[in-house]
């Protein structure tokens, strides 16, 4: 019996090790293709740690390889500050420490998602008739809706609205414009069956309704191993419509971040 227990424990240990591949060597240079979608490469640094792209209409992508200090959230904070300064946003940001805490809480929730899936499926039929955990309140021109993991507020007096989905997605909007943020732990490429999320992905976009500068949309896509380096694509779009530039930047980050 003891030998069988020992054998079972050994097999379990080997299975766990096999499901968590060793980390690849840290990337030291970017892979900057000549083009990505409608974007053409304009330049590449001698050390290949940064490169620049643009379109004929003037949209820009600046791709960087950024080492991680302390945590990905703290590392990206100066880039968020740069984005906000360039676009002149007046919407108040949350601190990087708060974002880091929220992301960790969200990641803990994601780790339990698989186990909760079966319960969610069983509860789906009941959810149509059961409003437990749902709160809707309003007073004058203000309204708030709270559901499990989702919080929506609207203030018509000050023309502001916000949406929170766990600690993963945040959107703030006002007459000034809109800020959207996504940050979460992810599995690295090749870690599909790993129980550990060793990668990080973030997106931050500010869209101004009006601007005196050249660009109405500025933001970034970022991704890579949590210990770094991160591939960060800073985007600048002349118009508010920015789907093409976000898609191109996302592909560049996936190529270089390994996510």
Query: Per residue in 53-106, pLDDT tens?
Result: 999 999 999 999 999 989 999 999 999 999 888 877 555 544 445 455 445 544
Contact between residue 116 and residue 166 where contact means Cβ atoms under 8 Å apart: no
Contact between residue 177 and residue 89 where contact means Cβ atoms under 8 Å apart: yes
Q: Which residue has the higher pLDDT, 100 or 217?
A: 217
Q: Which residue has the higher pLDDT, 111 or 62?
A: 62
> What are the angstrom distances between the C-alpha of 53 and each of 34, 138, 151, 175, 249?
9, 47, 37, 31, 10
Question: Could you tell me which of 16, 19, 55 has the C-alpha nearest to residue 191?
Answer: 19
List the single range of 160-169, 194-203, 208-217 with lowest mean pLDDT: 160-169
Rounded CA-CA distance 55/61 in Å is 9
Q: Which residue has the higher pLDDT, 187 or 108?
A: 187
Burial class (CB in 10 A: 0-12, 13-18, 19+), 90: exposed
Which stretches of 60-210 are assigned E, i.e. beta strand? 60-66, 135-139, 142-147, 150-155, 160-165, 169-174, 177-186, 199-208
Measured distance between the N- and C-terminal CA atoms of the chain, rounded to whole angstroms: 44
Domain boundaries, the chain: 29-105+175-257
Whether the model pTM is above 0.85: no
Rounded CA-CA distance 38/53 in Å is 10
Give the mean pLDDT of the chain. Answer: 76
Residue 70, token pair as written in the block: 């302390």
3-state DSSP assignment of residue 99 = helix
């Amino acid at each position: 019996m003891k030998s069988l227990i020992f054998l079972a424990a050994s097999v379990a240990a080997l299975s766990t090790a096999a499901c968590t591949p060793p980390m690849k060597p840290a990337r030291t240079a970017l892979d900057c293709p000549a083009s990505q979608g409608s974007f053409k490469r304009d330049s590449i640094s001698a050390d290949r740690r940064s490169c620049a792209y643009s379109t004929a209409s003037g949209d820009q992508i600046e791709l960087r390889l950024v080492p991680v200090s302390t945590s990905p959230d703290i590392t990206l904070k100066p880039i968020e500050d740069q984005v906000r300064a360039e676009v002149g946003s007046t919407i108040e940001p949350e601190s990087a420490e708060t974002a880091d805490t929220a992301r960790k809480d969200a990641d803990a929730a994601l780790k339990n998602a698989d186990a909760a899936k079966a319960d969610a499926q069983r509860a789906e039929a009941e959810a149509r008739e059961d409003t437990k955990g749902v709160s809707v309140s309003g007073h004058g021109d203000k309204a708030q809706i709270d559901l499990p993991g989702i919080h929506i507020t609207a203030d018509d007096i000050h023309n502001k609205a916000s949406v929170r989905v766990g600690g993963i997605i945040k959107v703030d909007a006002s007459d000034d414009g809109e800020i959207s943020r996504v940050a979460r732990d992810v599995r690295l490429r090749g870690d599909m069956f790993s129980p550990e999320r060793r990668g990080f992905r973030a997106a931050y976009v500010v869209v101004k309704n009006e601007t005196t500068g050249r660009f109405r949309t500025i933001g970034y896509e970022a991704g890579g191993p949590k210990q770094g380096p991160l591939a960060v694509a800073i985007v600048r779009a002349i118009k508010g419509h920015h789907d093409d530039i976000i898609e191109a930047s996302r592909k560049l980050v996936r190529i270089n971040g390994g996510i």
